[in-house]
A and B are shown apart, each in its own frame.
Chain A
Amino acid sequence: MRIRLSFIFLFILVSSIALIFYKSLFEEKNYIPKNINNKIENISIKEFNTENIFFLKNLFEDEKFMAINIWASWCLPCREEHQYIKNLSRIDNLKLVGLNYKDKTKNAQKFLEDLGNPFDIILSDTDGTKSIFLGAYGVPETLILDSELKIIKKHIGPINSKIIDEIKNLTN
């Protein structure tokens, strides 16, 4: 009887673990929050690897829109999305800003060495406080801002070609 009970217990345990794995297979890995159209503050952020400090608004040159991609070398999905970030850099009218989040400089550099540097400029957020102003949830995350620093699109998680098409349409 004792054996039978423990068998039933293990049977249920194994099945429920299998069920959890099953559910997580279909779990959406990205999700898009609704609270866009918020304006963010014109904060100043230090440039990566230099001591220069920039205000977000001053980053615009001829472009009408800005994409801020929050990434870190320790974030594996960032590695995955990097090839798509390169496609993002080909969109005209879009200033591509990388925000290096809670990272060690040398690791971030190594990341760029290996995978290339598609960004127009890279800013650095070593303690994660600047990302709070941007309303970031985590890494990777991509924000599209207009020239008034209004968030017109926000994507949490790695971007893909579908998202890039959406961004292309938005910035046209």
Chain B
Amino acid sequence: MLNLIGNYSLVFALITSLILAVVSFINFKSNKSLDFNIFGAVVLQFTLICVSFFTLIFAFIYSDFNNAAVYYNSHTSKPLFYKISGTWGNHEGSLLLWVLVLSLFTLIFLFKSKKLFNSFRILTIFFQQIITSGFLFFILLLSNPFQLILPTPNEGLGLNPILQDPALAIHPPILYLGYVGSSIIFSSSLAALTCKYVNKDWAAEIKKWSLISWIFLTIGIMLGSIWAYYELGWGGFWFWDPVENVSLMPWFCLTALLHCSSVLEKRATLQSWTIILALCTFILSMSGTFLVRSGILNSVHTFANDPERGVFVLIFLTFLVLISLFLYFKFNNFESKPKSFFLSRETAIIMNNWFMMYFLAVVLVGTVYPIFLEVFTAAKISVGPPYFNQLIIPFLIPFLVLMALGTKLDWIKTKKFKLNLNRIAILILSILISFFIVRNLNTKVLFLSVLISASLYLLLISIIDLKNQKFKWSQRISHLAFSILVISIILNSIFSEEFSVNMKVGQEKIISNSTINFEKISKQEVDNYTSIKAEIEIKQNENKLIFYPELRLYKTPETITSEADIKTNLFNDNLLVVNYLKGSDYLNIRYQKKPFMFLIWFSAVMLGLGGILGLRDKLK
């Protein structure tokens, strides 16, 4: 019953979407105003998709194994929280969530854009409906979450403990909010192009939506990385995995767009470039979905390997790209730009955009190149962290310095660019500090000290700028956050420590500057496994830490899992994990020290906060 309701409300949502597309196009052609029908239809569509989404959630909560999606992805013994998050943890449900957010954003756009040009609004709705109906077709034809299984099974299949993690439960919906937010940017740029409405009002409108997407993307990427760090636990937080890259690409594009749209807003120039960035952001988000969902990429995140689905998304994506190309070339005749001088804020922002495009290109090539190579030569290669590190890190140096200097410039022309004594003092200070930091290392001293100097310089300048009334709070906060993020990532990668040693209970060993004491071991029967808990003390200089790592021996299926003990403080994460060695009474003890992890998460949250402050300014 529930399944039928869910299914048919989706069908009606699709019909509404098609009617809306036609009506809005006719209204646009005949220059009619945005009438009540359109309004009502958008509300209706949102309600229908909502109904459908909630029936799916109910099916998951009540473990209705009649429903195929529930059967494959849920289990009666799952905690309620993970039953609910299981709704979007699978391919079908996550697409339904995508469409739900899509229609929600269309609705919000309609409510919030009353002051804007009429035809522009109608046309935006038209393009939004093309996207919505494409996704609805995809769901109904190829990924229907309401497929039935007969006879009804008694128990579900899905109980993968690695996916039961709070960060992973909310990571996809947050990331989706970011992706889908960019759909409004896409539709409204196409609409603005067609109505010749690429002006300051439009830039202000688009900036709101880019901020919304940017906030969600930033937080979403961070949550994914938290999951990788704590749950996958390969001892890192970023692996240049194709699926991570795919979420990073729209982020670069969006960051460029955020900066570029303020040039359009203040100076009415760079129209073409803003449009291109706006279109690319959504296209990159869509390509991301395509690459992840089609199984072209081999990755930990791969959902389903179904070429048919891939073909649909590919055709739809190509269609959107070609439409935007066509409209761009048909309507792209902007007035010549007012002149800017070299030393101006505009130049700094354009430089920022260049760097963003460079980083984007590096990630894009690294992600897509293996696919191309495979088609042409049947050779399989995988592009790993060394490629990304070597191409991105050296270019961070000029980027960071530029970021520190660029905010100092004025719009149009900087009249007097004085060599400020303070600034030189800060530069010297940061060089000294970085020398102090790198002094004891014996690799790549010169390169690292330059890199650290540059990031310290940006950090110090951003701290001083906190008091500068000339800038908005959003800018001050997010620039400071970015500088903290960069410097903590650099220091984290330089100063991470680890060792691994085999020990018996009661032994004591000394490795470099640490003393390890294997104090105790205790055994306990818990529900469906036997727990072996060790007590290990690690002494470094005067610091003493006691860890309680655990081994779990499961009976069915026979598996041993290790639960690490992580001690977190402001400056360090200390992680200790033990391992069972077959056929001996020794345990393998692995200790890792990861500095500044807390600061990395903290600065990512702060980056998001900067975005929220910016959004608040815009909505005032």
Residues of A within 8 A of B581 (CB): 49
A166 within 8 A of B: no
- A110/B235 contact (C-beta < 8 A), A25-B296, A25-B314, A80-B302 known: yes
Cα distance, A44 to B116, chains bound together (Å): 76
Residues of A within 8 A of B588 (CB): 49, 109
Stretch at the interface among B45-53, B72-80, B143-151, B371-379: B371-379
Stretch at the interface among A9-17, A59-67, A92-100: A9-17
Nearest CB in chain A: distance from B249 CB, A: 15
Nearest CB in chain A: distance from B107 CB, A: 31
Residues of B within 8 A of A114 (CB): 162, 232-233, 561
Residues of B within 8 A of A69 (CB): none
Q: How would residues 93 to 119 of chain A score, 1 for a CB under 8 Å from any chain B CB and 0 otherwise?
A: 000000000000111011011101100
Would B590 and A86 count as touching, CB distance under 8 A? Answer: no
Cα distance, A107 to B558, chains bound together (Å): 22
- B contact residues, range: 35 or more
Cα distance, A34 to B50, chains bound together (Å): 54
Would A76 and B241 count as touching, CB distance under 8 A? Answer: yes
Residues of A within 8 A of B483 (CB): none
Cα distance, A76 to B498, chains bound together (Å): 24
Q: How would residues 216 to 238 of chain B score, 1 for a CB under 8 Å from any chain A CB and 0 otherwise?
A: 00000000000000001111000
Query: For chains A and B in complex, what number of residue pairs have CB atoms within 8 angstroms?
Result: 90
Would A25 and B321 count as touching, CB distance under 8 A? Answer: no
Would A20 and B162 count as touching, CB distance under 8 A? Answer: no
Instruction: Enumerate B593-612 residues with CB–CB distance to A below 8 Å.
Output: none
B298 contact from A4, A25, A80, A105, Cβ within 8 A: A80
Nearest CB in chain A: distance from B72 CB, A: 15
Residues of B within 8 A of A80 (CB): 298, 302
Task: Name the residue on B nearest A27 (C-beta).
Answer: B374
- A113/B562 contact (C-beta < 8 A), A10-B325, A20-B372, A20-B375 known: yes
Would A110 and B325 count as touching, CB distance under 8 A? Answer: no
- A109/B314 contact (C-beta < 8 A), A11-B322, A20-B372, A116-B560 known: no
Task: Name the residue on B nearest A23 (C-beta).
Answer: B375
Would A86 and B375 count as touching, CB distance under 8 A? Answer: no
Would B298 and A18 count as touching, CB distance under 8 A? Answer: no
Nearest CB in chain B: distance from A87 CB, A: 10
Cα distance, A100 to B530, chains bound together (Å): 28
Would B371 and A14 count as touching, CB distance under 8 A? Answer: no
Cα distance, A80 to B294, chains bound together (Å): 16
Nearest CB in chain B: distance from A75 CB, A: 8
Task: Name the residue on B nearest A6 (C-beta).
Answer: B329
Cα distance, A18 to B296, chains bound together (Å): 13
A73 within 8 A of B: yes
- A109/B241 contact (C-beta < 8 A), A18-B318, A25-B314 known: no
B338 within 8 A of A: no
Q: A18-B314, A25-B296 are in contact. List 9 more A-B contacts (CB 8 A).
A: A3-B332, A20-B371, A23-B375, A76-B299, A107-B234, A109-B590, A114-B162, A116-B559, A116-B561
Question: Please, could you name 18 A-B residue pairs with CB atoms under 8 Å apart, sorted by A?
Answer: A3-B329, A7-B325, A7-B326, A11-B322, A15-B318, A15-B322, A22-B311, A22-B314, A25-B307, A25-B310, A27-B375, A49-B581, A106-B235, A107-B234, A107-B235, A110-B234, A114-B232, A138-B380
Q: Closest 3 CB pairs between A and B?
A: A116-B559, A113-B562, A18-B318
